[in-house]
Structure 1
């Protein structure tokens, strides 16, 4: 097949959406397909044909609108079996919703009604609303692909899309890279590097958006627990300054380590005992699946699509909200190695079901259905 993938930034150095596009392109090429990527910024990738898409950078609305316009102009000059977009553009065969939808983002991020109303009528949110309306309501795609039932439900609720037009394909994990064996391979060395003792309990938090993923909730839970033998590793590319100040004020300096972004992230799963992500809203945080594959129990919220793979009390815990006391209780329940080991083994077994091969197979099946006009 001749496949077009659309993504503003095509790079492993960015967030989940961008890394997913690179991973997808590699697997599609490995399967023998011709892959074209329409993007504004990129890393070189063997076998991938790159098409530069201009983008006006003066503001977020201009970025989104100009990328949508110029992408469709470029795509219209060529013929493809499938156009698969990760971005909100005017037309695509498949639109992958991986960051949730605008009305729910506004609702979750701005609980105050007056603030929410002001944000909703601001240029950024109006632009996103316009683009989503074009896609979901004005037939801007043949089929919507999303990575959780959570997001499928939101799309149906807010945009009245027919359920059969929304396909849920869960993310896949590379089980050759992420597996329980990493603990033995890297765990001791990483813990030694950061001065972590063998008897200390290590929590891991990974995100490039500390506010959205609620790092503050974890810090407050540590303050409630008042146990110095617990360490928190914070990995990701976001400003640590406001959080570092709070950590110092609450005498948690020796417990919280801000490590910045890391390339070999499997080494940090290996050094940890529990993965914690009390996110406010996440279509499907792939770090949860990676952590499970490495044998870690996962604590996250029901507002994370990845929680659909976690049976509460079996593979970790699913929080009802972002309250520090609820999180503190769940961390306390996993203090003892026996409890963590049992959950971790079950989590790894569950994650193995959602390998990258399964994901690619389901994506290719969707491509075949689109080509066969199954979603006209």
Structure 2
């Protein structure tokens, strides 16, 4: 049986892709398969727009009989996991750019989709994108939703989280708390998060967690919208668990998110979750919790109705906790392994 090789361009101990591949590797190895992670680094002096074609050459040269699985755009993959969606669609959210990397990405992306034996899409939303933009046959693409390490909800941990956030950030008692988690606020809807909150006519507190290079803009916007006393910019957090625990409503008005593990994480910690139809993970939510777009402020009526009814809010939070149990890393690995096994079987 061929060795399953998870290919990654560079190793980062904080990278979400690395954590996912390591967990997937471990889960598949538990099931008796021979696995490895292959990191291929490029010379630091090399310009970025050359590094990617060079990386493709490196990976394809050493492939031999390995079964290649990757989140990276490479032209010799057995399975490509399109966890980042399509770069072509992503560019539409950025506007005009002279970055020489973009045409290289697009060239690599086209080759990747066309050459991969099979493609895993993290949402129906991304699958439709791939079919529409690159004319890939739908039968070549399987939808496998992401999984997370499901954690049991513990009352003692909840109380400890409230104590921690109260002491460090001034968490208020008996006030509905909103949460936003994401680095790079523009694409993930940081501005729309603040503008939505500014239209709510009831008391609230909110936390924005994540790295943002233009943080001054968002702080100034909160001031301009007269909600600065209600919003805390908590910055990047290595472990945002305590924020999820103390939050009631996770509001994520993203412009483009192929999946969005933060949705699963918020559900795991009993949050009511609201996002946009441009977020892949929104497919697992009821339609009433989906904004048509990041500026769909009509959602405020729904938000305020839950703020007015604590029992209804509690029921929805509990429902999300129950529903997220099926989106475990174990289930993701099982579904992924089914696809790997079917491709290997076809080789015999």
Query: TM-score, length-normalised on structure 1?
Result: 0.84
1:71, CA displacement in angstroms?
2.4
Contact kept, 8 Å, 1:182 with 1:266, in 2: the verdict is no
Q: Which residue of 2 aligns with 1:307?
A: 282
Which one of 292, 298, 310 corresponds to residue 320 of structure 1?
292
1:279 aligns with 2:267: no
Structure 1 equivalent of residue 346 of structure 2 = 373
Gaps of 5+ in 1: 40-51
Partner of 1:173: 148
Give the RMSD, CA atoms, in angstroms.
2.4
Quote the Cα distance in structure 2 between the aligned partners of 1:19 and 1:241. 31
**CA distance in 2 between partners of 1:57 and 1:216 (Å):** 37
* 2:165–2:242 CA contact under 8 A, matched in 1: no
Partner of 2:128: 153
Q: CA deviation at 1:278?
A: 0.6
Q: Tell me whether 1:65 sits opposite 2:37 in the alignment.
A: no
Q: Which residue in the other structure is 1:93 paired with? A: 78
Structure 2 SS opposite 1:92: coil
Match of 2:26 in 1: 26
| Equivalent residues of 2:250, 2:266 under 8 A apart | yes
Deviations 1:356-376 (A, max 9, x none): 2111111111110111127x9
Q: Determine the C-alpha separation between the residues in 2 that align with 1:92 and 1:300.
A: 33
Q: Secondary structure at the match of 1:225?
A: coil
Stretches of structure 2 that go unaligned for 5 or more consecutive residues are: none
SS at structure 1 position matched to 2:188 = coil
- CA positional deviation for 1:182: 7.3
Question: Matches of 2:10 and 2:180 in 1, distance apart?
Answer: 24
Deviations 1:18-58 (A, max 9, x none): 3322322332344344332222xxxxxxxxxxxx4325565
Q: Is the 8 A contact 1:284 1:304 kept in 2?
A: yes
Q: Describe the SS at the equivalent of 1:75.
A: coil
Kindly indicate whether the alpha-carbon contact (under 8 Å) linking 2:261 and 2:281 is maintained by their aligned counterparts in 1.
Answer: yes
Does the C-alpha gap of structure 1 residues 7 and 66 become closer, same or farther in structure 2, counting only changes over 3 Å?
A: same
Partner of 1:2: 3
What SS does the corresponding residue of 1:126 show, helix, strand or coil?
helix
Contact 2:10 2:41 in 1 (8 A): no
TM-score of the superposition, structure 2-length normalised? Answer: 0.90
Tell me how far 1:169 sits from its aligned partner: 0.7
Q: How far has the Cα of 1:103 moved from its partner? A: 2.2
Change (3 A) 1:303 1:165: same
Cα distance change on mapping 1:58 and 1:250 into 2, 3 Å: farther
1:9–1:207: structure 2 CA closer, same or farther, 3 Å change rule? farther
| Cα 1:208/1:304, change in 2 over 3 Å | same
Q: How far has the Cα of 1:59 moved from its partner?
A: 4.5
CA displacement at 1:178 relative to structure 2: 5.7
